[in-house]
Each structure stands twice: as structure tokens, then as C-alpha cells.
């Protein structure tokens, strides 16, 4: 492993968020407005189209939770508490450089939290329909996205034209195809890409766009192809393979992924909003109605807030088929009711239909349950 | 354990101490073995000092259960800091599924220890008192800390120690049955109960009544994980030839 070419050869080794911040600041210095987002449903093409840059806001640290708990209930999703705590403490460097923030109504806790931060920044909350297959859902979602467009145009005294939107759509499609291609290297056995590298790529790609980004991602594809050809592996032959699904992961909840590493297994896929989900699927190009094309793609994101959420089961089937994991870990953040309940269906699919081992973990950002998690993950891997 | 006969040659129980590493070093000096495996929460420290391999207690219990009680597919382990239930394929010993309590101590052996201390009893006295008690009220608090103050106020309101001890047992029983309901199948006639908690005869009786199933407790339930680890070590020895 000594001769392995790193995917990113820069000063941000092991610091994907600092790399992302540098990207955002670079765009900002060049005059781009920074629009903070919390969720994969935020249609960032509108931000790119107006010459802005999206910034994924901090939400994954236990350190900001005590501050949040001065105001918010303790029994709430750690992601929401952490986001709020960061804003109160002014310790999220991304939030500090935002000119506006976009939220969405994916979950009850989040949408009420947004009400508490609305004075901090110009804020727009997108109303997301949650029965995506119902008649009128996509039209209503287009209407919501149009509201966001008007918000951006008013806030920044600009006009977002169809041509600029089409350009942003093409950029997204090129970028997403490359990210998908990179994540698909997880299917190699033994592995040629680590979860830290996948996380590096997705964190970078969320805040980057255009030719430079495409060139960087193509370079990464070439590095991975070279590893495959030269048989340079990131995990030992025979290492057990793990696919992580469920809630978004990052920061302190990466403890679960690190415990998998400690057990000598290889994480071969991240099927969540901080992994594949944000980059899967394409937006129709040249449709004549770019807002509708954007609306259709975003409404296909298989988040557990949707009902029915059949897309998640389809993606899981494809991912298990591609990555061939020995174990699927369904990671649920405490108080995330939708992922917690949907786990029943996911478990049934994974165990009964796909014949793969399954472990559900409900956790938060604290380190209180590390000992127990180590036993659970260890035992689940021993079963494989 | 003798690898040929599965006879236990010696059981050694050490008190929990703050200097586990030197206790383990003592074991290293006094014993010899062909193969060794460590299990439980201290397994990695033990492995570091003694060598050999480490196995989770879940694997250890499943391995021992299939060796000694092949006809039983469901295992409960009630330990000091957590509770586990296991579902095992009776044909091949494969672990099918397991569930654990959440990170709270209320469903574990620790709950009994704390309640006994609150009532001013030893653990054995608590267990004996519960058997004499009537089932006349419930402990409402699901948290060990709040249950402690609830028990104190029950005492001051004149409830008998026996009835309170009974309610303490019932409180844990509800959690145990709920955890079991996630894996128990209709065709399981009996369950195997291991871990230190299985030495509580009153709880064993209550559990059998609640499940309407036979509850089997091995002779040394608190050594059951150690047997399993010994078998894991033996299996490795055989694999290596």
C-alpha cells in the first residue's frame, strides 16, 4: 500500500471539510454568492446558474450539541441539534460565509428549527411534497423550486435564465456521472477505494462544479483504474465487505465506520445522502422546462421521508448486486423516525430477498455507546 | 477446557479490578495452553496480554449453545451491563440474528445490583424476597436512577420489601420479554438462559411463566461465554492442524 497514489494530492489529506471550505472560499473571492444547504433536496443547479456556490452546512459534531440543548429538546435528532448549535456558537465556517440559506421540509424537527434561525440569514424553506408518486406532486415541487428561484433573484438582484439553468444541468450530469463511476469502484474485490476516499470525493463534489471539477474527477477515475490494473488494494484479500445505508454520515457519527475498520472489514459503499444518493440519477437536458427537469430528478431521491419510498429498495438491490457486501449496516440517527421505521422494510429486503446479513444501528454523535457498538459490529461481522 | 473431551479442567473467577492488565499477566505466568480466545468487553485487552484471538460474547454464546444445547435455538444472556438475545440455527449452529438492549442499564443485571443496594439487601436476599412477594403494583420508571427514587418512596409509603423486590423483577422481566419477542418463534419450545443474571432463580421462574416455555439454565451460566471462547480457540486449533 506504500506506493498508492492518493486521490487528492493536496494539503487537505484527511481533512475533506477543509478542502470543501477552501473550494467555497475560492469561489466567494471570485465574487460568487454562497448559499448554504442542509440537504440533498436543495436544487443547487439554481445556485450554480446564478454564478453562486452551494455550501453544505455543518451538522455532524457532538461539540455543538450542548449549546443547542440550551434551547432545543434533548430528545431530538443529533443532526438538527448539531446544526443549530453550530449556528448559535458561530463555529460553522461554512455558515459564517453564507449570503443565504436554503432549507426544506424533509422532517418536522428540521422545519421547526429553521424557524428559529430565520433571522440569522436570508432563509428560504422549500416545501417538499412527500408522496412523490401522487398526481400533482412533481408540479407542486416545481412550483416550490420556482419559489426558491424567485427568492434567489430577489435576494441577489439577478435573473436566472433558462440557458444558465441548462448549463448547470449539463455540469451536474457530467459531475454526477463521474462521482457514480468513482463510487462504483467499490465493487472491486479486493477493494481499491476506502470509505474515507469516497467521503473525500463526495464532500469535494458537493461544492465544486465546472471544467476544473470534471478534470479532477476524471483524474481520480484514472488513479482508481490504475490501482485496479496494478492490483494495488486498499484492503486485504478476503476482508469482509460492508455497505452502509440509512441516515447521512459525517463527523462524529463516522465512529461507526471507524469501528468497521477496526474489525478489519472494508466499507465498499456509502448509500446515503453523504454518499451515492446526492449524485445518483440524471436531470433531463434540453427539455424546454429546466425547472421541471430539475424537479423530477430531485423528487426521485429515495429519502425515508417519502412514502412510498420504493426507490430506496431499488437502489439497495442495485448496490448489493454491484458491491456484493457481506453485511449491510443500516445506520439510523436517534429520533429519525422515518429511517427508524423504514428499517423494518430494509431488513426484510436485505435478509430475505437479497440473502445478505443486516445490522441496524441507532446512534447519536456521542461516544457513550462505543463499547456496545464494537460488540454489535464485531458480532455481525463474525456472522458473515 | 480439555480440547478432546470438552471437560472443564479449571474455572477461574477473578474479581473485577482497576488493574486488569496485571491480573491477566498473572494468568499468563500461572497457566499454559495450546490455544486461547478472549471474549466479553475486556476481550481486546486480554488478547493483548495473553495472545490468541478475540471473539465477541455473541459468537461465544452461540458456539457454546450449539455444543451443549443443540436442541435450543434461542439464547438469552443477561449480563452486568447489557442484555442480548440470540437466534441460532439448530441444524448447523449458525447465528441467525441477535438483539441487544439499548445503551441504558435498566434492562441489565446492574439494575438488580442497584435496587438491592437501595433496599439495603444483598443480591441473594433481593432474589429470595421477590419470590415471597405479591404482584400488586408496578415500578413505573424505566430508568435505573429514577427507579431508585421510586423504590425509596414505595418503601416510605409502607410497601413491603418483598412486594417491591417482586416489582423490581417484573420490571426487568418486561424488558427481557420485549427484547425476546423480536427473535422468538412459535416453534421454540425452550430458551437457554445464560450470563450472571441466569443465576437469579426467581427471575428464571418468572420468565418461564411469562413465556410459557421451558427456561433452561446451564450449571455454570456465568461461565457459558468462557466455554464458548474455549471452543472458538479449539476450532482455530483444529483449522491450523
Q: Which of A368, A369, A379 sits opposite B56 (nearest CB)?
A: A379
DSSP 8-state class, residue A20: H
Q: What is the pLDDT of residues A204-219, one digit of tens each?
A: 999 999 999 999 999 9
The closest CB to that of B82, out of A362, A372, A383, belongs to: A372
Rounded Cα distance, B16 and B1, in Å: 22
Residue A251: name the closest of A111, A10, A62 by CA. A62
Contact: A382, B94; criterion CB under 8 Å: no
Q: Which residue has the higher pLDDT, A276 or B79?
A: A276
**Mean of per-residue pLDDT scores for chain A:** 96
Q: Which residues of A touch B95 (CB under 8 A)?
A: 379, 382-383
Rounded to two decimals, the pTM is 0.91
Give the mean model confidence (pLDDT) for residues A302-327: 97
Q: Which residues of B touch A362 (CB under 8 A)?
A: 102
Flag if B102 and A371 touch (Cβ within 8 Å).
no
Nearest chain A residue to B81 by CA distance is: A372
- Please state whether beta strands A266-271 and B83-88 pair in parallel, antiparallel, or not at all (unpaired): unpaired
- Name beta bridge partners: B88: B95
pLDDT at A306 over 80: yes
Nearest-angstrom CA–CA distance, B162 and B79: 24
Contact in structure between A100 and A120 (CB atoms under 8 Å): no
Give the CA dihedral A106, A107, A111, A113, nearest 10 degrees: -130
> Cβ separation of A379 and B98 shorter than 8 Å?
yes
Residue B5's pLDDT band (cuts 50, 70, 90): confident
Using a CB-CB cut-off of 8 Å, the residues of chain B touching A369 are 103
Of A371, A372, A379, the CB nearest to B59: A379
Q: Which pLDDT band, with edges at 50, 70 and 90, does B241 fall under?
A: low
Residues of A in contact with B82 (CB under 8 A): 372, 375
pLDDT of residue A2: 52
- For residue A379, the chain B residues in CB contact (below 8 A) are 56, 58-59, 95, 98
Which domains occur in chain B, in start order?
1-57+223-241 (no CATH), 70-217 (3.30.420.40)
DSSP state of A5: P
Is residue A190 reached through a cis peptide bond, with omega within 30 degrees of 0 on the bond before it?
Answer: yes
| Contact criterion met (CB < 8 Å) for B58 and A379 | yes
Q: What value does the CA radius of gyration of chain A take, rounded to a whole number of Å?
A: 20
Which pLDDT does position B33 carry in this prediction? 93
User: Which residues of B fall within a CB distance of 8 Å from A335?
Assistant: none
* Ramachandran quadrant class, B135 (left: phi over 0; alpha: psi -120 to 50; beta: rest): beta
Checking DSSP bridges between strand B74-78 and strand B83-88, what pairing results, if any? antiparallel
In angstroms, the separation between the Cα of residue A320 and the nearest Cα of chain B is 20
CA distance B74 to chain A (A): 16
B94–A383 CB contact, under 8 Å = yes
- Check CB contact under 8 Å for A372 and B95: no
Burial B1-26 (b: 16+ CB within 10 A, else e): bebeeeeeeeeeeeeeeeeeeebbee
Would you state the cell numbers that stand for residue A296, as one nine-digit string?
Answer: 423530477
What is the Cα–Cα distance from A61 to A79, expressed in whole angstroms? 8
- What is the spatial distance between Cα B103 and Cα B97, in angstroms, rounded to a whole number? 19
How many other CB atoms are found less than 10 A from the CB of residue A4? 15
Question: Chains A and B: how many Cβ contacts under 8 Å?
Answer: 30
DSSP state for residue B196 in the 8-state scheme: G
Cβ–Cβ under 8 Å, residues A91 and A65:
no
Average pLDDT over residues B24-48: 93
At residue A1 the predicted structure's pLDDT band, cuts being 50, 70 and 90, is: very low
| Chain segment A33-73, per-residue pLDDT in tens | 999 999 999 999 999 999 999 999 999 999 999 999 999 99
Walk me through the domains of chain A, giving residue ranges and CATH numbers. Answer: 17-160 (3.40.50.11890)
CA distance B78 to B85: 9
Please give the helix or strand (H or E) that residue A376 lies within, else none: helix A370-382
Return the beta strands (E) in chain B as ranges. Answer: 37-38, 53-54, 74-78, 83-88, 95-100, 190-194, 214-216
Q: Is the CB of B57 less than 8 angstroms away from the CB of A375?
A: yes
Q: Give A309-329 as a DSSP string.
A: -HHHHHHHHHHHHHH--SEEE
pLDDT (0 to 100) of residue B188: 84
* Cis preceding linkage at A308, omega within 30: yes
Give the separation between CA A112 and CA A155, rounded to whole angstroms: 23
Interface with chain A: mutation pick from B58, B75, B80, B82, highest number of A CBs within 10 Å: B58
Task: Give the mean pLDDT of A92-109.
Answer: 97
All residues of chain B having their beta carbon less than 8 Å from the beta carbon of residue A371 are 41
Distance CA A19, CA B16 (A): 47
- Report, in this order, helix, strand and coil percent for chain A, each rounded to 5: 50, 10, 35
Helix (H) or strand (E) holding A268: strand A266-271
Give the separation between CA A169 and CA A153, rounded to whole angstroms: 18
Mean pLDDT of B94-102: 89
Kindly determine whether residue A379 and residue B41, on different chains, have CB atoms separated by under 8 Å. Answer: no
- Give the integer Cα–Cα distance in Å for A325 and A319: 9
Query: Comparing C-alpha atoms, which of B56, B175, B158 is closest to residue B109?
Result: B175
Give B115-174 pLDDT, tens digit per residue. Answer: 999 999 999 999 999 999 999 899 988 788 888 999 999 999 999 999 999 999 999 999
Pairwise CA distance, residues B88 & B95, whole Å: 5
Q: Indicate yes or no: CB of A379 within 8 angstroms of CB of B103.
A: no
Taking 3-state DSSP, the helix, strand and coil percentages for chain B, each rounded to the nearest 5, stand at 50, 10, 40
- The 10 Å Cβ neighbour count of residue A296 is 18
* The three three-digit cell numbers of residue A75, written as one number: 430528545
Gap between the Cα atoms of A229 and A232, Å rounded: 8
Window from A61-75, B15-29, B48-62, B170-184 with minimum mean pLDDT: B15-29
Across the interface, whether the CB atoms of B100 and A383 are under 8 A apart is answered no
Give the dihedral of Cα atoms A274, A276, A278, A284; nearest 10 deg.
Answer: 170
- Closest-CA distance of chain A to residue B99, Å: 9
Chain A residue with minimum CA distance to B94: A383
Q: Chain B residue closest to A375 (CA)?
A: B56
Give me the DSSP letters along B95-123.
Answer: EEEEEE--S-STTSHHHHHHHHHHHT--H
Contact check, Cβ <8 Å, A382/B100:
no
Residues of B in contact with A378 (CB under 8 A): 56, 58
Binary contact (A372, B57; C-beta < 8 A): no
* Band of pLDDT at residue A78, cut at 50, 70 and 90: very high
Q: Which residues, 6+ apart, have CB-to-CB distance to A110 below 8 Å?
A: A38, A39, A77, A80, A83, A103, A104
Amino acid at each position: 500500500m506504500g506506493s498508492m497514489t492518493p486521490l487528492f494530492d493536496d494539503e487537505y489529506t484527511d481533512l475533506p471539510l477543509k478542502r470543501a471550505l477552501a473550494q467555497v472560499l475560492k469561489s466567494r473571492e471570485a465574487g460568487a454568492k454562497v448559499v448554504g444547504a442542509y440537504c440533498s433536496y436543495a436544487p443547487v443547479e439554481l445556485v450554480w446558474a446564478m454564478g453562486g456556490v452551494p455550501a453544505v452546512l455543518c451538522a455532524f459534531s457532538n461539540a455543538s450539541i450542548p449549546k443547542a440543548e440550551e434551547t432545543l429538546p434533548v430528545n431530538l435528532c443529533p443532526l438538527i441539534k448539531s446544526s443549530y448549535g453550530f449556528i448559535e456558537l458561530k463555529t460553522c465556517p461554512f455558515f459564517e460565509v453564507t449570503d443565504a440559506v436554503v432549507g426544506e421540509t424533509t422532517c418536522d424537527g428540521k422545519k421547526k428549527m429553521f424557524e428559529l434561525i430565520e433571522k440569522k440569514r436570508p432563509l428560504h424553506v422549500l416545501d417538499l411534497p412527500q408522496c412523490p408518486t401522487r398526481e400533482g406532486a412533481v408540479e407542486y415541487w416545481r412550483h416550490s423550486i420556482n419559489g426558491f428561484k424567485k427568492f434567489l433573484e430577489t435576494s441577489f438582484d439577478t435573473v436566472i435564465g433558462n440557458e444558465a439553468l441548462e448549463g448547470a444541468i449539463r455540469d451536474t450530469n457530467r459531475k454526477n456521472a463521474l462521482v457514480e463511476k468513482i463510487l462504483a469502484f467499490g465493487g472491486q474485490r479486493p477493494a481499491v477505494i476506502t470509505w474515507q476516499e469516497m467521503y473525500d470525493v463526495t464532500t469535494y463534489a458537493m461544492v465544486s462544479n465546472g471544467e476544473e471539477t470534471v478534470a479532477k474527477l476524471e483524474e481520480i477515475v484514472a488513479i482508481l483504474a490504475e490501482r485496479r490494473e496494478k492490483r494495488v488494494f486498499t484492503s486485504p484479500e478476503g476482508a469482509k465487505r460492508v455497505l452502509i445505508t440509512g441516515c447521512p454520515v459525517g463527523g462524529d457519527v463516522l465512529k461507526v465506520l471507524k469501528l468497521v475498520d477496526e474489525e478489519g472489514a472494508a466499507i465498499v459503499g456509502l448509500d446515503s445522502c453523504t454518499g451515492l444518493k446526492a449524485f445518483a440519477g440524471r436531470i433531463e437536458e434540453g427539455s424546454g422546462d429546466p425547472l421541471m427537469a430539475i424537479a423530477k430528478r430531485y423528487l426521485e431521491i429515495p429519502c425515508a421521508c417519502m412514502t412510498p419510498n420504493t426507490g430506496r429498495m431499488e437502489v439497495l438491490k442495485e448496490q448489493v448486486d454491484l458491491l456484493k457486501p457481506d453485511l449491510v449496516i443500516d445506520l439510523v440517527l436517534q429520533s429519525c423516525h422515518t429511517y427508524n421505521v423504514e428499517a423494518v422494510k430494509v431488513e426484510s429486503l436485505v435478509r430475505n430477498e437479497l440473502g445478505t446479513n443486516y445490522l441496524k444501528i441507532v446512534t447519536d454523535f456521542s461516544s457513550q455507546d462505543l463499547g456496545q457498538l464494537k460488540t454489535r459490529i464485531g458480532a455481525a461481522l463474525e456472522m458473515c | 477446557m480439555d480440547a478432546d473431551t470438552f471437560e472443564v479442567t479449571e474455572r477461574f473467577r477473578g474479581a473485577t479490578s482497576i488493574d486488569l492488565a496485571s491480573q491477566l499477566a498473572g494468568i499468563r505466568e500461572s497457566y499454559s495452553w495450546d490455544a486461547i480466545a478472549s471474549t466479553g468487553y475486556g476481550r481486546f485487552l486480554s488478547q493483548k496480554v495473553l495472545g490468541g484471538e478475540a471473539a465477541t460474547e455473541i459468537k461465544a454464546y452461540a458456539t457454546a449453545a450449539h455444543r451443549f444445547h443443540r436442541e435450543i435455538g434461542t439464547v438469552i444472556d443477561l449480563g452486568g451491563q447489557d442484555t442480548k438475545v440470540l437466534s441460532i440455527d439448530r441444524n448447523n449452529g449458525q447465528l441467525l440474528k441477535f438483539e441487544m438492549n439499548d445503551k441504558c442499564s435498566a434492562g441489565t443485571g446492574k439494575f438488580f445490583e442497584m435496587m438491592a443496594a437501595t433496599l439495603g439487601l444483598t443480591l441473594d436476599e433481593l432474589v429470595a424476597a421477590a419470590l415471597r412477594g405479591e404482584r400488586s403494583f408496578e415500578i413505573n420508571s424505566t430508568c435505573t436512577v429514577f427507579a431508585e427514587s421510586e423504590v425509596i418512596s414505595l418503601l416510605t409509603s409502607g410497601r413491603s420489601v418483598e412486594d417491591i423486590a417482586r416489582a423490581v423483577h417484573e420490571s426487568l422481566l418486561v424488558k427481557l420479554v420485549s427484547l425476546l419477542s423480536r427473535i422468538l418463534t412459535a416453534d421454540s419450545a425452550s430458551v437457554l438462559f445464560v450470563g450472571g443474571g441466569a443465576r437469579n432463580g426467581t427471575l428464571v421462574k418468572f420468565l418461564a411463566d411469562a413465556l410459557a416455555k421451558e427456561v433452561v439454565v446451564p450449571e455454570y451460566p456465568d461461565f457459558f461465554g468462557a466455554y464458548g471462547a474455549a471452543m472458538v480457540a479449539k476450532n482455530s486449533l483444529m483449522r491450523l492442524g
